[in-house]
Amino acid sequence: KDEEAVSSGAPPEQLDALAEEHVPEDVRNKLASANWKERLEAADAVCTMAREKGEGMEHPIPEAIVRLLAKAVVDKKETNFQVSAKAFEAVHALAEKSPKFTKRAAHWFVGGLVEKLGDAKLRAPANDCLLMIAEACSPQFVLSQAYDHISKQKSPKTQENALCWINTLASEFGIRLLKAKQLLDFTKTLLEASNPGVKRAAVDLLATMRRQLGPDVRGMLADVKPALL
């Protein structure tokens, strides 16, 4: 069902045409500028638009705008933290304001957000945006999109902060809204990490799960070395 939600919908060329229709040309041009100040100005304009008009946007306009930002910031690996932060703010505003915010839109942005959890300057906006998307689309969906990206991260700091984000997600939304077995299996893979920060964050997440699920978790951890716990 989730895969269908991500793969179906308006064709990309239709979304691109919608972005051209709803986002002024000078803003779109500045998003692609080599000058970071112009990119920041454009991201700020999109953010204002999301805040002011997000609530009344018809489907699939929010998708078109998120796709535009994903292409400009995530796909092009934006290096300026201010531009990235403003783009995250815009997606946060769309997820918060627009009842038409979709799983497909979330899918395009989750990976880029996870990657920036390891960046000291972007951790907070990335974390907040992921939590807002979870509220808009369901925490389990966002988590299912994030697992692969977290596993592939080379930076231990990113993995550690991603586990802290999942811990917040589990605490705020409750484990009952997540697939506990899937989360447990994922967390167990990071218990084996050589980095102490990652290992500690994994143990903290297991503690949160235990508090919510009770002693049943012990049985699920039978294959984990006691020393790791």
**How does residue 8 score in pLDDT terms, banded at 50, 70 and 90?**
confident
Q: How confident is the model at residue 229 (pLDDT cuts 50, 70, 90)?
A: low
Q: Is the pLDDT of residue 3 over 90?
A: no
Band (6; pLDDT cuts 50, 70, 90): confident
Which percentage of the chain shows pLDDT scores above 70? 98
Q: Look up residue 124 and give its amino acid.
A: A
What element of type H or E holds 182? helix 180-191
Environment class of residue 216 by beta-carbon count within 10 Å: exposed (0-12), middle (13-18) or buried (19+)? exposed
* pLDDT at site 227: 64
Residue 219 has pLDDT above 90, yes or no: no
Q: Return the amino acid letter for 215.
A: P
Q: What is the mean pLDDT of the chain?
A: 94
Can you give the pLDDT at residue 222?
74
How far is CA 5 from each of CA 1, 96, 106, 144, rounded to the nearest angstrom?
A: 6, 19, 10, 13
- Tell me the mean pLDDT in the region 143-152: 96
- Containing 222, the helix (H) or strand (E) segment is none
Closest CA to 62 of 26, 32, 22: 22
Average pLDDT over residues 92-114: 97
- Asked if the peptide bond before residue 196 counts as cis, ω within 30 degrees of 0, the response is no
- Amino acid letter, residue 170: A
Predicted local distance difference test score (pLDDT) of residue 5: 78
**Cβ(192)–Cβ(181) below 8 Å:** no
43, two tokens? 């991201």
Smallest CA-to-CA distance from 173 within 112, 220, 115, 130 is with 130
Q: Calculate the CA 127 to chain-centre distance.
A: 7
Measuring CA to CA, how many Å separate 187 from each of 10, 166, 197, 203, 227? 35, 10, 13, 8, 16
pTM of the prediction?
0.94
CA 206 – CA 102 distance, rounded (Å): 30
Question: Distance between CA 143 and CA 125 in Å, rounded?
Answer: 17
pLDDT in tens, 56-89: 999 999 999 999 999 999 999 999 999 999 999 9
Domains and CATH numbers, the chain: 10-137 (1.25.10.10), 138-229 (1.25.10.10)
Residues with Cβ within 8 Å of 107's Cβ and at least 6 positions away in sequence, in order, are 6, 145
The reported pLDDT for the residue numbered 228 is: 63
